[in-house]
Structure 1
């Protein structure tokens, strides 16, 4: 039993996370309890990380990285280096003496590194870089034999072999090689030559003698072309001889011909071909010339010329049933041999062509074998590339998977897509999104204000979600535009398409009720103003109509109509009285409330604080609870990650992720704004009201009694004083 490795931890986001300090931590990462891992899976696409490195780690090619694959990559990299601390140093180069000594197979990646450097004419180099391996890979892909097991027609130097490779590609399909050229692999070549050999054996079989001489083969083919139809004809004639009443039913009916007559006919029409070869009658012979179904005239003529006449010596253009059976018996062996012919894309080739193809089989398979022989070098070259990439990228991946050090230390996590500038803020917590609707269902549990944006750059489009974790959200709404900068520094047009509202701070929640109250008043005033305007416009329209049509409505000799007046111009005394009573009641209530408020004396500040707390307290409490629950996990889980902890985003971290606009501390400012709205009477009234409130409070608290005459003092002096 070996002693457990001693890891060191740091705390961020309310979670204890492992600190990757040295190569030993990487070598023993498999010993770390996976309950302490921040993530348990991440996608290989849609994150800011080299996809080639992720593909080399993703051994099952499911486009997801999970702990077993990451642990295997760490152990594999440490096994090929003398010192695992090389993985901490990073960089895309490795010194030749840093590779581990050859293993039991007697091979080391250092040998492949020296081989690559020799091919690049860098024999004196002591360090190999990722660029060297990439150049070698490009050279290997461009070579005649590149180890992918695919050969193209251009690979062959002999013309017959080249033609065979092309025929294999034409009949069995092609596959792309590493250069993107069409070629064939071993499976296609073996299938092709197996079919060619089967066809050769069939052509050389015992049944081939039955069709020798040429005329027997033609006779068998002619018989086979009409066999079913001739059998049908004689069977119908036998049935007619059995019962004469069946004759009308065995021939085509009048309705059938009427249906045919309604169509535009050709001899290729299937309805014509379905009719009997000739009219059915008891004991009738089959005509092979005149009087035959026109759709079968040519096949029957071939039957007469190639089978009946040569085999029976019968030049008559009629064939009875015994003669038909005799013809079938004569061609039976040849027809059976034809039925056994292998069916393949090359079945139409003759014996000479098949022999020529099989003669090139050895050369074709030798080309594929020679190409496969280069594959071991390719495998070692891929291992060398993998080690160089892991040296450069492994530590960064661990600090974005096992822990989130890169995120909490604001070094740029791999899931952060870039920075969104919108509403006088910059948002650094942005994540790429494939399906906005599906993402929003889970991401809403993050208790964070999220803005989904569609980003456009030319013909390119992508969706992101940005977390607003500081400032207010009063002017965030769908349709607002901003600019998004990805991690490569490219700028995109960004438009909010969906918003999930949540508080960003307790201070924002404090003012939220008052802002909502002001908005409600503004909305109600706007509604009343709109209604009043609509009523006034309607009244003016009615008045204008009455004036314009007054002369038409007045009868000749009638008294002039009364003068038109605006609706509502008549004053209702009862309405005025009611309004007066209402205003008086409201004034009395306000005066009573103000009097009670003034009577509180020294308790007025506490009363004001209580009123404010009653209004803003619930909103602030809800905001505080949501801010405590604000986390990163649901946002990443919705993007395909498997986050192991809650990963809280507290107020301090949120302030660093969303920065509001601030003028530099020592910047010079010109405070006079020529376009500022004038305060005028409104400012004076506000100042006067404030002075009046302060004066009343001071008088109520007896602070002005020393300076006021006795009649105006709040607390009159006693007689003894």
Structure 2
């Protein structure tokens, strides 16, 4: 609480300013309610992907406040000062590594070893590229310090088999090279499971049954034959109970008729009874057997004959006794031991039952585990340990990217600065003579619209394609007009890496874009309304003329109604007179004004027409916010983050000629007119205007309009009387 924070009011929010290292160190003490963002996704961002993966330790696809605080605490224990982090430098000076701790000393030695291996022994700093090259070089080595061994050809055949079997039965971890391998925990778990399985098999083999060493074989046969033998004795009991049903209990003739190819179906035969059903409570093990079961019955007869009174016949009582004698063996078989599990990133694909007894015996009793332990010990002594290299990579990345993450999470200073771009701004959309820079990633358009609609931003949802790839973005249009922004229009999206994508507008959220649009919107609506009405009138008149012409052609004797026509012309005359009167009144009022009052009237009319549209647009433009747009993309924002008119005008730029450009107004495609004709028409219009003004001033025009009006009224009256 004693730390002195600095806040700046931007976008309607108080946003923290990072002025020095102490601001970052004390960030755990800042109230989370004062952070601009509470969480963000790890995808759809213009940010280093590897850094985001390291921050997302629980791999849930999100970065939250605790993840950032953990990164700060972790980094603080590895370097001396946070001042260098404020510069987002690409290099990590070795002098910044805290060598006062054992891990720090080890990291310093590892960093030096990396530079020596890369022939950069004279450098006193480390870069991300240096670490990546070291990882790539070490990945191809068997002993690379990651304590994980794949089934490399450098190992003995026995060790390769051991590792491959362990991967199949227990699972695997990814080696530095990306291959599947095992560590000491997996190796120990594998051997332990082999020993458990081996002991269980030994207990089974020691179980006493009347069949001795043939217990396993007879057990498997009994499990296979049990459904068929039980079915046979059940049918015999039914035949004894109901002798008249004996025929139905046997094989129906239709089931043994050959198919079209002259062969019998094995599947159909397998479902038939084991032998012919009669009332004798015994099974003949030699004669009358179902052909598909005869081989197994013969094998069964050979194994159980010592227990049978007649070696060729099996009674139901003898069948039950055989099963009872195998109960101890069955009990042990059913008590299969559970295998020991260990944490792995790659799940096993096989079961230990898939290994032969010989393989299990060889690997469980050999010294392969001891040899693997020696390999691990040797790998642990590698000068450049993989674990230390990964720690160095994390330190270099946090040193470079942690500050940018803070100014795109704790505050949005990158977004409100006019020289940088925020992490959620993916590129620029060029369309309709404009460039939109607020382009965010979209996973599901329908779901995104539900939330982004509250941002009061005009949004274009575009499908972007490039070389077989596809992505969807939402671009905010915050300047210009929206008349030509329609679904289906094409544009070009340039991502932050300079790649160009073909963009097609698939959905639009229509909202006010600018004050300029609001000013001209009423006149555009009036123009569209007049155009529509003229089109309707012209269409209806064209239809009437066609209808009348058709009637005349069909009925040539139709007489012309002079009275009706005169009435129509009289009505038209009245309409023209009314319009003339209205125009006369307007012109009379205008000419009665002083010269300085006329501009005020024009301005007043402009305000009356455009004023409501401008006010409504201004109110809506004041409510444009970034929060709902980012929330729709998976962020959790603490406030609305308003986008004012100034920022809106900067987020979307319109086409403008360069300052030093020249404009040639002579259009070669435009028809040229004679200069004398232009002068003549201008003089004619001026003459008519001056003459009309003088006549109006003298009252002649008004008198003429009144006279014409009275004549039209008189003609209409006479026509009605006639």
TM-score by length of 2: 0.81
Distance in 1 of aligned mates of 2:577 and 2:678: 26
Q: 1:440 maps to which residue? A: 449
* Aligned: 1:482 with 2:491: yes
Shift of the 274–32 alpha-carbon distance from structure 1 to 2, 3 Å rule, reads same
Question: Do 2:89 and 2:400's aligned partners in 1 also have CA atoms closer than 8 Å?
Answer: yes
Q: 1:462 maps to which residue? A: 471
Q: 2:606 maps to which residue? A: 612
Q: 1:398 maps to which residue? A: 406
Distance in 2 of aligned mates of 1:61 and 1:348: 33
Distance in 2 of aligned mates of 1:213 and 1:5: 83
Distance in 2 of aligned mates of 1:642 and 1:686: 65
Distance in 1 of aligned mates of 2:518 and 2:656: 21
Q: 2:435 maps to which residue? A: 426
Match of 2:669 among 641, 665, 675: 675
Shift of the 476–328 alpha-carbon distance from structure 1 to 2, 3 Å rule, reads closer
What SS does the aligned partner of 1:645 have?
A: coil
Distance in 2 of aligned mates of 1:627 and 1:687: 47
Deviation at 1:625, TM superposition (A): 0.8
Question: Do 1:87 and 1:391's aligned partners in 2 also have CA atoms closer than 8 Å?
Answer: yes
Deviation at 1:619, TM superposition (A): 0.4
Q: 2:361 maps to which residue? A: 355
More deviation, 179-188/54-63: 179-188
Q: 2:248 maps to which residue? A: 252
Shift of the 691–501 alpha-carbon distance from structure 1 to 2, 3 Å rule, reads farther
Match of 2:569 among 570, 576, 582: 576
What SS does the aligned partner of 2:248 have?
A: coil
Deviation at 1:49, TM superposition (A): 0.7
Q: Deviations over 1:572-623 (max 9, x none)?
A: 3332222222322332233234334444557554443333222111101101
Q: 1:289 maps to which residue? A: 286
Q: 2:619 maps to which residue? A: 625
More deviation, 684-693/618-627: 684-693
Deviation at 1:473, TM superposition (A): 1.9
Distance in 2 of aligned mates of 1:508 and 1:322: 98
Distance in 2 of aligned mates of 1:220 and 1:58: 53
More deviation, 485-494/185-194: 185-194
* Aligned: 1:387 with 2:403: no
Q: Deviations over 1:93-139 (max 9, x none)?
A: 22222222323778553233234335545555432222222222223
Match of 1:136 among 134, 138, 142: 134
* Aligned: 1:307 with 2:304: yes
Distance in 1 of aligned mates of 2:19 and 2:266: 83
Question: Do 2:272 and 2:290's aligned partners in 1 also have CA atoms closer than 8 Å?
Answer: no
**Equivalent residue runs for 1:231-242 within 5 Å:** 233-234=232-233, 237=236
What SS does the aligned partner of 1:431 have?
A: strand
More deviation, 268-277/122-131: 268-277
Deviation at 1:44, TM superposition (A): 1.6
Q: 2:716 maps to which residue? A: none
* Aligned: 1:409 with 2:422: no
Deviation at 1:165, TM superposition (A): 3.2
Question: Do 2:209 and 2:325's aligned partners in 1 also have CA atoms closer than 8 Å?
Answer: no
Distance in 2 of aligned mates of 1:327 and 1:14: 86
Question: Do 2:228 and 2:273's aligned partners in 1 also have CA atoms closer than 8 Å?
Answer: no
Distance in 1 of aligned mates of 2:308 and 2:218: 12
**Equivalent residue runs for 1:523-542 within 5 Å:** 523-533=532-542
Q: 1:93 maps to which residue? A: 91
Deviation at 1:524, TM superposition (A): 2.4
Corresponding pairs, count: 677
Shift of the 216–657 alpha-carbon distance from structure 1 to 2, 3 Å rule, reads closer
What SS does the aligned partner of 2:206 have?
A: helix
Question: Do 2:150 and 2:179's aligned partners in 1 also have CA atoms closer than 8 Å?
Answer: yes
Deviation at 1:425, TM superposition (A): 1.7
Q: 2:33 maps to which residue? A: 35
More deviation, 597-606/646-655: 597-606
* Aligned: 1:641 with 2:641: no
Aligned-residue RMSD, C-alpha = 4.2
Distance in 1 of aligned mates of 2:102 and 2:494: 51
Distance in 2 of aligned mates of 1:88 and 1:451: 36
Question: Do 2:146 and 2:387's aligned partners in 1 also have CA atoms closer than 8 Å?
Answer: no
5+ residue gaps in structure 2? 339-349, 699-722
Distance in 2 of aligned mates of 1:136 and 1:595: 91
* Aligned: 1:21 with 2:15: no
Distance in 2 of aligned mates of 1:312 and 1:615: 112
* Aligned: 1:518 with 2:527: yes
Q: Deviations over 1:238-265 (max 9, x none)?
A: 675xxx55233466348x7156257847
